[in-house]
Amino acid sequence: MTTIDVVGVKNDLMSIAQAERAHYATNGQYVSLDELVSSGDLSFKRDHRDFYTYSIETSDSGFRVVATYNSPPNPDAPHTISLNENMEFSRE
């Protein structure tokens, strides 16, 4: 089940990152997850999937969409999965 969760989380992160890139192209700034939803740039309103919660770290020059694992320890589940403005994943 953890494998399925991680695949779903990665798909969510990709959707969020694509919305963030589209928002930047139109408005010239990176914004929070709530702002992406309220602006209509992100169609789903999910801020979590199962044991992962989502957030966005922004700066003037980029962003990082982060999924953080919030449950009892599981050796098969990465603590964090992130995706940056270059669409590069990293896991911890």
pLDDT at 4: 61
pLDDT for 23-66, tens place per residue?
999 999 999 999 999 999 998 877 888 889 999 999 999 999 99
Are the C-beta atoms of residues 24 and 17 closer than 8 Å to each other? no
Residue 74 · residue 2 · CB < 8 Å: yes
pTM: 0.91
**CA distance from start to end of the chain:** 19
Which residues span the domain enclosing 36?
2-91
For the chain, how many helices (H) and strands (E)? 2, 5
pLDDT on residue 2? 60
Q: How many domains does the chain have?
A: 1
H-helix or E-strand spanning residue 54: strand 52-58
For residue 1, is pLDDT > 60? no
pLDDT at position 76 is 83
